[in-house]
């Protein structure tokens, strides 16, 4: 008998994710992957899973799962008022669950996305080397066609013979998901196309994360930045690129970004800032601060080394 988790309620938006789909951007295929990659990595780390094991990304809550297996489960990311068999549980730790247990996510106390990992990872077939769900591309997920989780979906995972060690991440390691957010910006190659005044507005301004944001791009609402009058041919765009379209409202391109973009770019944000941004609900106040490339690369090196990536 196949063991796994049964989706009773998918909630607002729940998907299967792994690190992402790499190597196909030249054909227009976006990498995808979890919004808060660090929390997803922590979930696998708590269970000694390989870093690319499939996890569930629960956005904004409301998800209900029934265990049809016995295994160790790890939950990280935002606190979405998780209960197991009705008992409240804090995230950033691992649990032993048995056949018939229910995991129920409420609505966010803090943070915006929770990650669920199981021992050995969820067993989901890969399309183009990944099971990361990208609905817009019709790739990944349980059906390989980019569908998010639906009621009665069954997500296979292994059964464990005996209970493992419950672990909890020390509080000093936990990211602050609640306070005002400062995003670190590495100014990019088009920085000189923007005027000094435009940069001043950008550094001084307080922006708000718009409700029109999604996994393709985080849209900012705030003081308009004058865009340079250049007619750029589209070029490939990397994670975190800050595009400024004609209306002067910055858009930060995220993990499901379109592979090419034609708007002028201020630079890109530190990926760690992007993961923190993924934990903020629409309406969050955001500020920008500059960061040098060497510092940014050092921070990312440390992060990657820590998770063995």
Is residue 213 a contact point for another protein (CB under 8 A)?
no
Mapped onto helix, strand or coil, the DSSP state of residue 59 is: strand
- In whole angstroms, give the CA distance from residue 25 to residue 19: 15
Q: Determine, following the binding rule CB under 8 A, whether residue 259 of this chain makes contact with another protein.
A: yes
Q: Does the protein bind another protein through residue 78 (CB under 8 A)? A: no
By CB under 8 A, is residue 27 in contact with another protein? yes
Q: Binder to another protein among 8, 12, 25, 248 (CB under 8 A)?
A: 25
Closest to another protein by CB, 88 vs 262, is: 262
In the bound state with another protein, the residue whose beta carbon lies nearer, of 172 and 231, is 231
- Cβ atoms of residues 10 and 153 within 8 Å: yes
For 270-284, give one letter per residue: b (16+ CB within 10 A) or e: bbbbbbbbbbbeeeb
Residues 222, 280: Cα–Cα separation, whole Å? 17
Which C-beta is closer to another protein: that of 70 or that of 127?
127
Neighbours of 176 (CB within 10 A): 10
CA distances from 169 to 48, 58, 83 (A): 13, 20, 19
Integer Cα distance of 37 and 53 in angstroms: 12
* Contact call for residue 22 and another protein (CB under 8 A): yes
139 touches another protein (CB under 8 A)? yes
Site string for another protein, 185-204 (x = CB under 8 A): -x-xx---------------
Q: Which residue has the tokens 């400024």?
A: 244
Among 98, 150, 289, 301, binds another protein (CB under 8 A): 301
Rule CB under 8 A: is residue 152 a binding residue for another protein?
A: no
Footprint of another protein (CB under 8 A):
22-29, 127-128, 136-139, 144, 186, 188-189, 233-241, 258-260, 268, 270-271, 293, 296-297, 300-301, 304
């Amino acid at each position: 008998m196949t063991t796994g988790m049964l989706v009773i309620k998918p909630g607002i938006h729940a998907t299967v994710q792994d690190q992402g789909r790499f190597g196909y951007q030249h054909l227009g295929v976006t990498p995808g992957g979890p919004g808060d990659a660090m929390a997803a990595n922590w979930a696998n780390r708590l269970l000694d899973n390989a870093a690319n094991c499939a996890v569930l990304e629960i956005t904004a809550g409301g998800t209900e799962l029934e265990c049809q297996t016995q295994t160790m489960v790890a939950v990280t990311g935002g606190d979405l008022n998780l209960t197991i068999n009705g008992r409240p549980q804090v995230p950033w730790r691992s649990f032993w669950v048995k056949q018939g247990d229910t995991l129920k996510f409420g609505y966010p106390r803090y943070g915006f996305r929770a990650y669920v990992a199981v021992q050995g990872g969820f067993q989901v077939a890969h399309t183009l080397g990944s099971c990361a769900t990208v609905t817009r591309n019709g790739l990944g997920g349980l059906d390989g066609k980019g569908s998010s989780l639906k009621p009665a979906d069954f997500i296979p995972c292994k059964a464990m013979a005996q209970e493992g060690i419950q672990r909890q991440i020390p509080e000093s390691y936990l990211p602050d998901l609640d306070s005002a957010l400062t995003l670190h910006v590495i100014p990019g190659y088009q920085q000189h196309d923007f005027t000094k005044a435009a940069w001043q507005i950008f550094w001084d301004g307080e922006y708000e994360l718009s409700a029109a944001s999604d996994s393709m791009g985080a849209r900012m609402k705030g003081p308009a930045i004058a865009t340079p009058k250049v007619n750029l041919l589209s070029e490939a765009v990397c994670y975190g690129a800050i595009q400024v379209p004609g209306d002067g409202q910055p858009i930060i391109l995220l993990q499901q970004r379109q592979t090419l973009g034609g708007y002028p770019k201020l630079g890109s944000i530190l990926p760690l800032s992007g993961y923190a941004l993924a934990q903020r609900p629409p309406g969050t106040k955001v500020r920008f601060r500059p960061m040098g490339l060497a510092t940014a690369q050092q921070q990312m090196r440390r992060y990657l080394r820590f998770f063995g990536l």
